[in-house]
Amino acid sequence: QVQLVESGGGLVQPGESLRLSCAASRNVFSFNGMGWYRQAPGKQRELVAYITRSITINYADSVKGRFTISRDNDKNMVYLQMNNLKPEDTAVYYCKADLGTDYWGKGTLVTVSS
């Protein structure tokens, strides 16, 4: 069993930054990959950023150049640095780990509003 706990969400104004953290209950290097997903009200959950064990990284087109995913193997953490936030980034952000089976955290809410 894998536990994932997200943190770092909050209310920010457009143009500001946030860093989300995902704490895993086991070494993140053991996962095939880890990702950040988000779900806005009334919309389907979508991929934001994904990092594989070999550190191949993919981003959604909507966040390229603004968001950065990173991993700290020693701390069992995955991060999502979000810069120049926009109102359309408002969503619940979830951390996912791929260990053959997908494990999900409970999410953290990000609200971007003036």
Q: What is the pLDDT of residues 62-89, one digit of tens each?
A: 999 999 999 999 999 999 999 999 999 9
Residue 37 pLDDT greater than 90, yes or no: yes
User: What pLDDT is stored for residue 48 in this prediction?
Assistant: 98
User: What pLDDT is stored for residue 49 in this prediction?
Assistant: 98
What is the pairing mode between strands 33-39 and 91-99? Answer: antiparallel
Q: Which of 51, 46, 40, 45 is nearest to 97 (CA)?
A: 51
Who has greater pLDDT, 36 or 28?
Answer: 36
What is the pairing mode between strands 10-12 and 108-112? Answer: parallel
Residue 1 pLDDT greater than 90, yes or no: no
User: What pLDDT is stored for residue 99 in this prediction?
Assistant: 92
User: What pLDDT is stored for residue 74 in this prediction?
Assistant: 93
Burial class (CB in 10 A: 0-12, 13-18, 19+), 76: middle
